[in-house]
Amino acid sequence: MAKVKSIFLCQDCGYESPKWMGKCPGCQAWNTMVEETIRPEKNVRGLSSGDSNLKQKPQSIVEVKSEQEPRIPTNYQEFNRVLGGGIVPGSLVLVGGDPGIGKSTLLLQTSAQLAQKGERVLYISGEESVKQTKLRADRLEIAAKDLFVLAETDLELIEQAMADVMPSVMIIDSIQTVYRSEVTSAPGSVSQVRECTSHLMRMAKTKGIAIFIVGHVTKEGAIAGPRLLEHMVDAVLYFEGERHHTFRILRAVKNRFGSTNEIGVFEMKEEGLEEVLNPSEIFLEERSKGAAGSTVVASLEGTRPMLVELQALISPTSFGNPRRMATGIDHNRVSLLMAVLEKRVGLLLQNQDAYLNVAGGVRLDEPAIDLAVAISIASSFRDAPTKPTDVMIGEIGLTGEVRRVSRIEQRVHEAAKLGFTRAIIPDKNIGGWTVPNGIKVVGVSTVYEALQAALGG
């Protein structure tokens, strides 16, 4: 009889240890080591040089025929953009996000759209009963004949249901509730999540079924379970958004069939999620006219330019150390830009508290927003508002120079489309492209020149 062996696994990173430890050596997390029992698998074939039963022989890369992967488009253009053009048959996609953010709603609505197009979709719910799923479908006004629903957590029974329905798309909600009877650990453990995901990956590849699995996230925002889970799947999508805002952002952090820079913007309403085809207009509709500290930046998310409002509030500090708070942008980048303004422009900011915010709950992480951040800070410090029809684009260096940015033409065209009449951009970006009608381009080479152009001195 095979000997039973006990090991301790970290529930965050999957680190294995023969004994319990309070702190995981792999991810430095406390109280995450859980005992699990493993049994040696039977009939494990070893590799030998004499084994000639290869199903496929190695081929030269030039002899392999390249084929374009057929895709299944959804009605959501935003969803198609993030996936790289649509759903690839045989792919395994992991969708993560905070509880209540709308993961199940998005996938259920997408399943109904595919079913109405004639695709057979199997929705497996491990957290809700079939009647509860039906109630949610009624609230979303979903009624599709080819959408099949099953409440099950046993992977063997799920595989049997898949053989009966023969779907082209299958949803697993969520992977932490699914288990295999051969694995003795509890559902949601590292071993169960790893084994179930590996089995689902083989099912997707061999039968050509696109499988979406929902993953819970930890308090830090990462998908619960070992990082191996993200390496096994073809695409990892994060559904983000502030709980107090109606906007949701679908972001790809891994995609074998498309770009990882694309985002999709959705709005949560009573009847479900609706895609936002022009997010710039939505993010700017509540902007105050003539308010000091408010600027507009043309940020780039993947191939899509997006205009967002940046807000800054500078006030004298009441403590020895001034506060630096930022929402939606990197806190360290704000401190760096304030040091450049103090050293290169002469603004006395060392005794000022600084609060910066990106309106709408969006997060910006590209260098092209530097110029807008610096002008917002200077505008609030001097209490001098910028023109409401100005847009700022540019990266700032430590010596105070304004550096060129990529895809300037698309950014300026988006600003002109929304009615902006002037764009302050790096001097190196002028030339080589056609300026759209109705907007004036002002080139600057230093932060001092940018402040003169935007604030008049």
pLDDT at 211 over 80: yes
Give phi and psi for 65, each to the nearest 5: -80, 130
**Which of 23-27, 158-162, 225-229, 363-367 holds the top average pLDDT?**
158-162
Please compute the mean of the pLDDT values over residues 156-181 and round it to a whole number: 93
Percent of the chain at pLDDT > 90 equals 59
- CA angle at residue 445 from 444 to 450, to 5 degrees? 45
Residue 218 has pLDDT above 70, yes or no: no
**pLDDT mean across residues, the chain:** 87
The tokens of 181 are what?
């009877």
Q: For residue 382, which phi and psi values (nearest 5 degrees)?
A: -90, -5
Q: Compute CA 189 distance to the chain's CA centroid, rounded to the nearest angstrom.
A: 25
> Which has the closest alpha carbon to 279: 313, 311, 241, 314?
241
Domain 77-277 has CATH 3.40.228.10: no
What dotted CATH number matches 282-455? 3.30.230.10
pTM > 0.95: no
Asked whether residue 215 is marked as a ligand-binding residue, the answer is: no
Query: 37: part of which helix (H) or strand (E)?
Result: strand 33-38
How far is it, in rounded angstroms, from Cα 89 to Cα 119?
12
Q: Answer yes or no: is 100 a known binding residue.
A: yes
Give the residue among 436, 387, 378 at the shortest CA–CA distance from 287. Answer: 387
- Averaged pLDDT, 426-445: 94
- For residue 220, the model assigns a pLDDT of 57
Q: Is 98 annotated as a binding residue?
A: yes
Q: How far is CA 65 from CA 59, 60, 109, in A?
A: 11, 10, 36
User: Residues 19, 21, 25, 27: is their CA dihedral positive or negative?
Assistant: positive
Share of the chain above pLDDT 70, in %: 92
Q: Is 393 annotated as contributing to ligand binding?
A: no
pLDDT digits (tens, 9 = 90+) for 72-118: 999 999 999 999 999 999 999 999 888 888 899 999 999 999 999 99
Q: How far is CA 311 from the centre of its chain?
A: 23
Residue 45 pLDDT > 50, yes or no? no
Q: Where are the beta strands (DSSP E) in 404-450?
A: 422-426, 440-444
Is 101 one of the annotated binding-site residues? yes
Residue type (1 letter), 189: S
99 known member of a binding site: yes
Cα–Cα distance measured from residue 372 to residue 364, given in angstroms and rounded to the nearest whole number: 12
Residue 437 has pLDDT above 60, yes or no: yes
97 known member of a binding site: yes
More confident position, 416 or 289: 416
